[in-house]
Structure 1
Amino acid sequence: MHTRRRGSSDSDKPVADEPPEWSDVDADAVEERVVELAEQGHSPSEIGLKLRDEGVQGTPVPDVALATDKKITEILEEHDAEPEFPEDLRNLMKRAVRLRDHMDENPNDHQNKRALQNTQSKIRRLVDYYRGDELDADFTYSYDKAKELL
């Protein structure tokens, strides 16, 4: 959106209807592990990586959705362990705070000034998208709020 380049194409995830036979983990055990990792402060994407790499009781879980028929965020919602902000919005806010701190130290860094403007623009669009459902109806983005929340 903010560059003149075209988007890069990604490889598609292989189509699968059921988990592989070597990963025979109980769905309840996977859900318990997801909630446990969320309580430790991990984001949904980090939880997926940990389950893929470490697994549950030593058995890797290549795809939580195939193992449990639910996404990680759905599992977290059921157990009231979902993060207060959507992960994509939180990551953009972290980036904006980092860029703003950099701009305070380096006021003549025009590339980062542009990057900060683009990031804040993305944040505002995402806030509009999430407002009412996952965010309060009167939530507005500001640097001070983002620094306080993070």
Structure 2
Amino acid sequence: MPGNSPHYGRWPQHDFTSLKKLRPQSVTSRIQPGSDAIVCAEMDEQWGYVGAKSRQRWLFYAYDRLRKTVVAHVFGERTMVTLGCLMSLLSPFDVVIWMTDGWPLYESRLKGKLHVISKRYTQRIERHNLNLRRHLARLGRKSLSFSKSWNCMTKSSGII
């Protein structure tokens, strides 16, 4: 009967205590340089633009395969200078194995280190690229939303 409803016309209240509560990642669980070693790190670059497609901006970043987190990232042009900036951010970490795609600058920069060049071993970072493109409209290729300044693009990608 409608008049005898204990919820007064609202949906019944459910007990959600049995559901697992998800907590955001705390700052203390991040990878600490010098104290933690990264066994396998994947590196890749992702294309974006600011204002017009002729003004390209690249996101270079490294992804830890075991922890499934982004270790470091840099925005810039697709040059050796930007790759050098990323490598300087990664220098405090003890990376054992580097996994990249076939871009020639990775080979020249990682010479003398354990380096695997394969599409098979960069599947996780490529999937992360796809997730970024799906969730951040500014990184989408064919989208009406785009960044109007370099600063806005860097700040909007702060979830990385």
Class of the TM-score when normalised by the shorter of the 2 chains? under 0.3
Higher relative contact order (CA 8 A, sep 6+): 2
Computing the radius of gyration over CA atoms, which structure comes out larger, 1 or 2? Answer: 2
TM-score by length of 2: 0.25
Structure holding more strand per residue: 2
